[in-house]
Structure 1
Amino acid sequence: MLKSAKEVLAESLKKMLEKKTLKSITVKDLVKDCGISRQAFYYHFNDIFELVEWIFVEEASKALADNRNIDNWQQGYCHVLKNMRDNKALVVNVYRSISREYLETFMYKVLHDVIYPVVEEQSAGMNVDVKHKEFIAHFYSLAVVAMGLDWVRGGMKEEPEDIAEQVAILVKGDFKKALRIYAK
């Protein structure tokens, strides 16, 4: 299967991050490494950070494909963590180079997109304001992101399955409990 220019650039960046920091990689280095023109790079991305974001979005989309309900959201979270570990050089470089805030924002968006549908599903048959459902999803998204960032900061030593299971134990039944309290 032929790879797209975006995929080739992504592979090249990941490979370069094994030896260099994100701050020290230029578009010139990247295109030279993968044999794609600067013009082709700028056709797809405005800068290297946009390429990083594209990589994160692509990887997260694959990891979360069908994991957006109460029975399998934990698997989605585990897949995200595994993917982060598989791309450790990229994740650690982003965490250290761009700032924790960039990684936190990305993780929040990805995880909120998994958690909100779970909250919505759990609210079936209840009369709960959207603002309360949003608050529940926001709260748990922040908590799950914090656990993921702590894992990155600690060197990604724990198994993703263990972290996902521990988080699932803590939130099991909590969505419904909170929704019942907010129900009119």
Structure 2
Amino acid sequence: MGQKGNTTEEALGYSLKKLILKMPFEKITIRDITEEAGLMRPTFYNHFKDKYDLLEWIFTEEIIQPAEALIESNMMEEAVRLMLRRMEMDLDFYRKAVRIQGQNSFQDIIFQAFRDIMKRVLESKMKGKHMANRLLTPDSIAEYYAAVSSFVIIRWIKTEWEVTTQEVAQAYTMLVAEPLDEMIRELYSHT
């Protein structure tokens, strides 16, 4: 687990990460989070709408954002390897987080984070291009990559045996055999 953050968001994130190791996520209250962080309860709502929003912020800040440049450069295997290494540094937290089920499950949070970044990347790469297949829109391609990415990460976190980040990154590459840029070139033509 990282050190206590300098910003309010980081302090709240650190607090949630500490608490989730002690008790089930469902039992953690906003009051628990703010007390652990040494903050007033209303401060939480200046930054996050609920504890699921905070959980999404943690995943995005710690895992997605550091890999964003690699994703934008179509270096997906390297991006996945980096994300996995960062998750590995806090594996106990992520193993607890993956147990969160229901409407705001951790799997949903991971899927949404990947979908959002992939959609941004695809929309920027596809500007000025004409779709060759109406089914394969930036939205549907982003959802596909998000599904594969979240599947691989969830599967790795849940694994009971030791699987290296290298093996997981290779599995990801095998599942997504065709690089994103090549698929874009095939599906879209310049207008």
Which of the five TM-score ranges fits, normalised by the shorter chain?
A: 0.7 to 0.9
Provide the C-alpha distance between the structure 1 equivalents of 2:30 and 2:75, rounded to a whole number of angstroms.
39
Q: Which moved more, 1:128-137 or 1:13-22?
A: 128-137
When the two structures are superposed, what TM-score results if normalisation uses the length of structure 2? 0.73
Q: Which has the larger share of helix?
A: 1
Q: Partner of 1:132 in structure 2?
A: 136
* Shift of residue 180, structure 1, vs aligned partner: 3.3
Kindly provide the CA deviation profile for residues 114-170 of structure 1, in whole angstroms up to 9, marking residues without a partner as x.
555369759x98863464243444334322322222112214731222211232144
Show the counterpart of 2:75: 72
In structure 2, the residue matched to 1:44 is 47
- Give RMSD over aligned pairs: 3.4
Matched, 1:162 2:167: yes
The 3-state SS of whatever aligns with 2:34 is: helix
Identity, % of aligned positions: 20
Judged with a 3 Å threshold, the aligned counterparts in structure 2 of structure 1 residues 109 and 179 are, in CA distance, closer, same or farther, namely: farther
* Residue-by-residue CA offset, 1:60-118 (whole Å, 9 max, x unaligned): 34322311246512111222222333333332333223449622222223333455536
Structure 1 stretches lacking a partner, 5+ long: none
- For normalisation by structure 1, the TM-score amounts to 0.76
Q: Does the CA contact (< 8 Å) of 1:70 and 1:121 recur in 2?
A: no
